[in-house]
Amino acid sequence: MLAGILFSRLIQVGSLTVIDSAGHSHRYGTGEPHIVMRLHDRRLHTRFLLQPSLALGEGYMDGTLTVENASLYDLVDLLAQNIMLAEQLPITKFVRKLGYAVRFLHQRNPIQLARKHVAHHYDLSIDLYRMFLDTDLQYSCAYFPEPTMSLDQAQRAKQALIASKLLLAPGQRVLDIGSGWGGLALYLARQHGVDVTGLTLSKEQAKVATERARQAGLADRVRFHVRDYREETGCYDRIVSVGMFEHVGVRHYGEYFASMKTLLAENGVALLHTIGRTDIPGSTNPWLRKYIFPGGYSPALSEISGAIEPTGLIVADIEILRLHYATTLAHWRQRFEANRSRAAALFDERFCRMWEFYLVGSELAFRRMAMVVFQLQIVRDQTAVPLVRDYLWENRPSLPADVPPLQSVGE
């Protein structure tokens, strides 16, 4: 079995038994945990050697790969731990360099293509996202200052943290780049009395967010546009972008920060919240790029700072949220599993397996591998923010024991 060439070199922690399509067992490693994976399609024998990420994900989606004695989570966890150990192997370095060399082919993201990429993921039925997100529909990393927090509490804590870093005052004009279903914009307007303009490339998100603003009685101070950041004009006191930078594309980082400088007032403050990697620049997992986030990429900190420096913008503060997204994704995964039958009725079983693989793989990328979340506070004038960080705690509102939703989406 050609896949054995890969597994014999990869498995150093735990052990993996692969039952091939002819029913023969092949064991790699000797330790615990011991996971048994069955291949039902002979083509996977070769595909695992040539396209391991796609072979694993597509095999699970199609049902041609099953886990016999454990869960998908257990299998991916075993593989993730061993992949991290294999980072220094020559073949791993070669594959990484190859992916890096061709990534610019996947990172071209002009406005029309950006709309298509966003529609692929975010214009799915809102009913899907209701199944696993918090009541405020926050589709980004939550913040867990207390590990026992509920998902709703942690998402509200994230909003409060962002508001503190923005140093908001009533009446300020705020631009929310990548506003999603409107939760953050509504929070900022309601809690801090600011005027918010939200940008999204998803027609469905803009529709839901606009209705939420109307229901909340905030339509005079919060509005949403289906518009690319490169099409926006005007001057804003504050700019916030949460979970959108991953869709910008490496080739467009300079364009993004040049736009930010143009749109930000001279004494303004911007907050960038993005998934990133703690290691060197790389490329996007092929399965994730094909099925979940076409055109997506999570940057190294050096790639972000390298794009900011030529613009003259100043990074005033950086915070790295470690494992917060792993905990967020664990909540999402458990909620999706609890609603799996509803998801299957809405889509089909193959979609459910795809979404399960997405949530499991993403959680373990943050738990076992090099993925984190960066929050960068960015200014044009270094006197725009205080000299010490005490204000982050002084101005942050306390959270009640249980957090009700700001505004639920209408059925």
* pLDDT tens digit sequence for 201-228: 999 999 999 999 999 999 999 999 999 9
* pLDDT tens digit sequence for 355-411: 999 999 999 999 999 999 999 999 999 999 999 988 887 766 555 455 444 443 332
pLDDT at 308 over 80: yes
- Closest by alpha carbon to 269, among 383, 186, 177? 383
Q: Give dist(CA 238, CA 32) in Å, integer.
A: 51
For residue 270, give the amino acid letter.
Answer: A
When pLDDT is cut at 50, 70 and 90, the band that residue 93 belongs to is: low
Provide the mean pLDDT of the chain: 91
287 with 57: CB under 8 angstroms? yes
- Closest by alpha carbon to 91, among 25, 153, 5, 173? 5
Residue 297: predicted pLDDT: 93
- Closest by alpha carbon to 356, among 150, 132, 151, 48? 132
Residue 99: predicted pLDDT: 66
- Closest by alpha carbon to 162, among 363, 388, 329, 395? 395
Q: Which residues of 231-252 are buried (b: 16+ CB within 10 A; e: fewer)?
A: ebeeebbbbbbbbbbbbbbbbb
Beta bridge partners of 198: 176, 224
Residue 409: predicted pLDDT: 35
78 with 16: CB under 8 angstroms? yes
When pLDDT is cut at 50, 70 and 90, the band that residue 77 belongs to is: very high
Q: Nearest 10 degrees: CA dihedral of 398, 404, 408, 411?
A: 170
* Paired tokens of 390: 């005490």
Query: How many of the other CB atoms lie within 10 Å of CB of 31?
Result: 10
pLDDT at 294 over 50: yes
3-class DSSP state for residue 265?
Answer: strand
Instruction: Give the C-alpha distances (Å, rounded to integers) separating 408 from 127, 133, 152, 202, 266.
Output: 13, 12, 12, 19, 36
pLDDT at 87 over 90: no
Residue 271: predicted pLDDT: 98
pTM: 0.92
Backbone angles phi, psi at 88, to 5 degrees: -95, 0
Instruction: Give the C-alpha distances (Å, rounded to integers) separating 336 from 49, 112, 187, 341.
Output: 31, 31, 25, 9
141 with 275: CB under 8 angstroms? yes
CA 177 from centre of chain: 15
